[in-house]
Amino acid sequence: MKNKELALALEKEYEETGDNAGTAMPPAPSMAAAIAIVKKRKTKVGTSFDPGVLEAFKAKAERVGIPYQTLLNSVVKRYTESKLDIEVA
């Protein structure tokens, strides 16, 4: 992903998620500063996935052009907001 595309994706994520929803991302003097603004509001967690599940997320994320962690966050966020239903197998 090119820097401009990454910046736009980070800005969109900032403006649409969490406590920042509906607010504009503050201007940043550099790409590194913009990334730091977005990363600062994230909480790191450790979890384990079945290898096939993780590979599927990585493949889908690559096709869309986003990091797989962003895709995972999006799915979990949509589920917690009741925008995604999961059927128990």
Find, among 3, 70, 79, the residue nearest to 39 by Cα: 70
pLDDT digits (tens, 9 = 90+) for 36-57: 766 667 778 899 999 999 999 8
Mean pLDDT for 3-10 is 67
In this structure, the answer to whether residues 53 and 87 fall within a common structural domain is yes
Find, among 80, 31, 77, the residue nearest to 10 by Cα: 31
Q: Please tell me the predicted confidence (pLDDT) of residue 54.
A: 93
pTM of the shown model: 0.51
Range of the domain at 17: 1-42
Q: Please tell me the predicted confidence (pLDDT) of residue 22.
A: 61
In 1-89, the DSSP E strands lie at none
In this structure, the answer to whether residues 22 and 61 fall within a common structural domain is no
19 touches 79 (CB < 8 A): no
In this structure, the answer to whether residues 52 and 38 fall within a common structural domain is no
Structure tokens at 33: 């500063």
In this structure, the answer to whether residues 4 and 31 fall within a common structural domain is yes
Mean pLDDT for 76-80 is 85
Report d(CA 7, CA 21) in Å as an integer: 17
Mean pLDDT for 55-79 is 88
